[in-house]
Amino acid sequence: MHISFLLHNAYGIGGTIRTTFNLAQALAERHDVEIVSVFRHREEPTLGAPPGVTMKHLVDLRRGSPTYDGDHPDYKKPAKVFPRGDGRWKQYSRLTDARIAAHLKSLEADVVVGTRPGLIVHIARQARRGPVRVAQEHLTLDSHGYRLRREIGFRYTLLDAITTVTEADARSYRTRLKLPGVRIDAIPNSVPAPTVPPADSTSKWVVAAGRLTKVKRYDLLVEAFAKVVAARPDWRLRIYGSGDATGNEKNNLRALIEQHGLHNHVFLMGPANPLEPEWVKGSIAAVTSRLESFGMTIVEAMRCGLPVVSTDCPHGPGEIIEDGVDGRLVPVGDVDAIADALLGLIQDDDLRRRTGEAALAASQRFDPARIAERHEALFTELVAGGGGARSRSRVRDLVHRTRGAALDAAYAVRYKAADVLRKGKRA
């Protein structure tokens, strides 16, 4: 099969990029696979190009490049096809609309896979008749605003399949949206085996990793660790990750660390790539989020032999961790429960070793080869079944586009009215 992934920016860093690279590399062992990045801002991908995968881009933002597109007149004009409800809308333009449309209309592939809602809308509206159309949901349906959920409910009817990273999110898609004939499967993200030996459970470090954003609730982890240090001052905590552009969350965490006198026990390490060598320096991993669409860091830590103490937040942790066997699940927002779960593993060397070994064994189900087999089976079945002949009939497409034009017009009126209102308030 020829499989084509459409990605926002393959040259950056992030969970969607990492898991797309993992899947593409595994599929490339048996298929012709390409990753088409809408944007390219640097010479080489930050994460390294996946072996065996063809890399392409549509808009060149490398200053000094002979094909630099930053000065193109349409680059500054707002996008019309890429939906406003997608959080990346401001980065898209008439130029991206045109380049994506031209790419999709000329695409010769068996399967085309979109990796974020805005790009999936493009695929639903503009992909040529022929390829199977697949949407990958890397977040959750609930994480999208009403405007984008409405667009998803309308545009995704022309797709052949949607894959979510958790069964909980697949249920949301099945029960909350009317998508007759669209297959919805839950297939988790993949994480490759580490290139370093697993942790041996003897170090006295707890490790956490992820962007320093409010949703991760690192403030709860710091407060919980203050209770840990009161009982076991020989243990320490490292938090890896970069902050937002303002640096507010990082500054807040620093202040909280100072407030609790933890400057010798809690360390903000900044970003690290790769993370594997940092995971194995620890003996326990901690996740205190109020929301996780999947939980890549949970699987990464488990693959390095660390048991994970995690909040049982929607949607991923409960589908990854078996409480009391390969980690611990605690109530969301409960500082005492987080501290107690950490101390339970810290105080019992044998328990920590056993849960770490169980985590290492359980994490093998997320190996890229196993996850690729599930995607391959889905793609093969859809291609063999004629793909989206149902959704790509000329009559259905015409009706959909006519209704879509009306929806676009309604959105345009609404957005214009909102802009006028905002300008009036500023005046």
Where exactly are the structural domains of the chain?
2-190+370-392, 205-366
Residue 14's pLDDT is 85
Tokens of 70: 């930053």
What is the pLDDT confidence band of residue 387, given thresholds at 50, 70 and 90?
low
Tell me if domain 2-190+370-392 and domain 205-366 are identical in fold.
yes
Is the per-residue pLDDT at 82 higher than 70? yes
Taking residues 345-349, report their average pLDDT: 98
The Cβ-side half-sphere exposure at 174, using a 13 Å CA radius, reads: 12
CATH architecture of 205-366: 3-Layer(aba) Sandwich (3.40)
- pLDDT band of residue 419 (cuts 50, 70, 90) is very low
Helices and strands in the chain: count of H runs, count of E runs: 14, 13
Q: How confident is the model at residue 184 (pLDDT cuts 50, 70, 90)?
A: very high
User: What φ, ψ does residue 285 adopt, rounded to 5°?
Assistant: -110, 150
The verdict on domain 2-190+370-392 having CATH code 3.40.50.2000 is yes
Structure tokens at 150: 């409405």
pLDDT given at position 182: 97
Are 377 and 187 a contacting pair, CB within 8 Å? no
Sign of CA dihedral 152, 121, 29, 361: negative
Specify the pLDDT at position 243: 78
With a cut of 90, say whether residue 409 has pLDDT above it.
no
- Measured in degrees and rounded to the nearest 5, phi and psi for residue 36 equal -105, 115
